């Protein structure tokens, strides 16, 4: 019997996480093509506390309007925080905090501008060469996400994104270029960011324009697109194992732990079904086959997946080395008419009376992270990685260039405590990368004012500001946590 692990293990990967489309900017520099994220538009003037004024889904009509008259709209992800030109400064700040790893993604459109070229864009690869080398200079392990909520917009226009199987060989080619370029330098990889969020936004998760599909076929298209991503992911995993046998490559979901609203058996059953629907994604990627419970779900919802003869074999041969999660909140569910619709959704309308809410009305539940880690490790017996966790808040930069974000420190500390407890419960936890370690453009709202970082970036929702970087109080706190993690004490 193994002895209990006390505190965080040696080699634990402390760090922070970002995404290319939320930090880089330079959206057309050095041969980069337009991506789906470049068309997440800021549509209305920002007014006080109003926050629901951004696009998370895009229609074909909107896309046409954006391309015809782009000056009418603001596209915050196009400018990001100018990481493309300031990566050295930012990585130096991460090193100052003591990061052991830095999670970032590679823009598909920066390497293959339309996704359909035969030869990659060398200038795009050269940029990531510099980012990887800058990390390694400080002893920071790069953790690379191959696809993080973006693809070349040409693939959406030509194939309607992952609705088409045509994207599978294109993604495999993209992954192969990255593996050949960074073998020996990048040891940790993730294929797709939060693939289960296809259930919330087909455009963001799969590059699909929903108005081009029959509304009655939405669930069919959602799971068919997910199947295409499963096959692409498995092929990439197999390729990584062949070309980089020393590397580790994982899958990732947005972990949504569902609690039953009451002890009523019907509510308990619905919570079980909701959790199954969420874990369906790593079930396929970690176990290499579709779980049995999905057979009835597909039958009940008239979903008939189209598979090719070798697909099941590909899934079996392309199982992941670890399971990564983002964790922001837990959910409450109950047996009601719209229960199936709410299952797997990002933010449940049923609030937990025992939990506080963030400024964006997200329930704060650190113990839910421990519960999730215990369940997932029991289920897969694979190393886990918490690669997103953080608090979005409206930080205030004081006159003396300080940000006193005790609320963020409190949030993160409580989650770190629960990770420590999970490790002592026997969970094999590889690392923890907070979201996002530096202020960036929000994925879901395209706001700059929804800040997550340890580093304040001077920019507002309209892209105005000096872009200067300032250390928040949480910067020094996280630096201390990383330095002291060896003894398991959290101060």
Phi/psi at 489 (nearest 5 deg)?
A: -90, 140
In our burial notation (b when 16+ CB lie closer than 10 A, e otherwise), range 161-171 reads bbbbbebbebb
The CA distances from residue 65 to 41, 43, 59, 68, 240, in Å, are: 11, 12, 10, 5, 40
Q: Specify whether the CB–CB gap between 455 and 471 falls below 8 A.
A: yes
Annotated catalytic residue within 194, 210, 257, 334: 194
Q: Rg for the chain (alpha carbons), in Å?
A: 21
Specify the DSSP class assigned to residue 4: P
Q: Specify whether the CB–CB gap between 193 and 229 falls below 8 A.
A: no
- How many C-beta neighbours within 10 Å does residue 462 have? 12
In our burial notation (b when 16+ CB lie closer than 10 A, e otherwise), range 406-429 reads eebbebbbebbebbbbbbeeebbb
257 included as an active-site residue: no
The CA distances from residue 383 to 33, 154, 325, 429, in Å, are: 36, 36, 11, 6
The CA distances from residue 401 to 367, 404, 469, in Å, are: 34, 10, 10
Q: 233: part of which helix (H) or strand (E)?
A: helix 218-243
Annotated catalytic residue within 62, 141, 150, 388: 388
Helix, coil or strand: residue 388: strand
172 included as an active-site residue: no
d(CA 455, CA 472): 6
Q: How far is CA 283 from the centre of its chain?
A: 18
Would you please indicate which residues are annotated as catalytic (active-site) residues? 194, 388
């Amino acid at each position: 019997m193994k002895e209990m692990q006390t505190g965080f293990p040696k080699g634990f990967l402390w760090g922070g996480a970002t995404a290319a489309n939320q930090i880089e900017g330079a959206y057309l520099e050095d041969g980069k093509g337009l991506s789906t994220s470049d068309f997440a538009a800021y549509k209305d003037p920002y007014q006080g506390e109003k926050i629901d004024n951004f696009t998370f889904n895009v229609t074909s009509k909107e896309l046409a309007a954006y391309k015809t008259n782009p000056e009418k709209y603001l596209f915050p992800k196009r400018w990001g925080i100018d990481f493309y030109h300031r990566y050295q400064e930012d990585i130096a700040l991460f090193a100052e905090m003591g990061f052991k790893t830095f999670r970032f993604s590679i823009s598909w459109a920066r390497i293959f501008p339309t996704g359909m070229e035969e030869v990659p864009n060398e200038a795009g690869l050269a940029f990531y060469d510099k980012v990887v080398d800058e990390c390694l200079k400080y002893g920071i392990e790069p953790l690379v996400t191959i696809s993080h909520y973006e693809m070349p917009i040409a693939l959406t226009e030509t194939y309607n994104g992952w609705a088409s199987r045509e994207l599978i060989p294109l993604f495999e080619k993209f992954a192969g270029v990255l593996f050949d370029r960074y073998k020996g330098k990048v040891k940790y990889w993730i294929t797709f960011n939060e693939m289960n969020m296809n259930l919330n936004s087909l455009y963001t998760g799969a590059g699909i324009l929903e108005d081009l599909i029959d509304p009655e076929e939405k669930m069919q298209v959602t799971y068919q697109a997910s199947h295409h991503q499963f096959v692409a992911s498995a092929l990439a995993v197999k390729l990584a194992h062949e070309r980089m046998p020393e590397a580790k490559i994982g899958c990732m979901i947005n972990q949504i732990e569902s609690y039953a609203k009451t002890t009523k058996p019907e509510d308990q059953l619905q919570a079980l079904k909701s959790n199954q629907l969420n874990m369906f994604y790593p079930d396929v990627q970690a176990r290499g086959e579709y779980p049995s419970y999905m057979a009835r779900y597909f039958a009940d919802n008239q979903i008939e997946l189209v598979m090719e003869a070798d697909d099941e074999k590909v899934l079996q041969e392309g199982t992941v080395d670890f399971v990564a999660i983002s964790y922001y909140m837990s959910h409450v569910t109950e047996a009601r008419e719209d229960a199936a619709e709410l299952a797997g959704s990002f933010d449940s309308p049923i609030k937990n009376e025992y939990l506080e809410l963030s400024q964006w009305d997200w329930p704060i539940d650190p113990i839910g992270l421990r519960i999730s880690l215990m369940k997932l490790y029991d289920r897969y017996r694979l190393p886990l990685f918490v690669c997103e966790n953080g608090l979005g808040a409206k930080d205030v930069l004081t006159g003396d260039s300080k940000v006193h974000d005790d609320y963020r420190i409190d949030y993160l500390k409580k989650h770190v405590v629960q990770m420590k407890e999970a490790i002592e419960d026997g969970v094999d936890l590889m690392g923890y990368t907070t979201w996002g370690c530096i202020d960036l453009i929000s994925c879901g709202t395209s706001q700059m004012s929804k800040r997550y970082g340890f580093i304040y970036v001077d920019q507002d929702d309209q892209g105005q500001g000096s872009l200067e970087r300032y250390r928040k109080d949480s910067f020094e706190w996280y630096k201390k946590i990383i330095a002291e993690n060896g003894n398991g004490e959290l101060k």
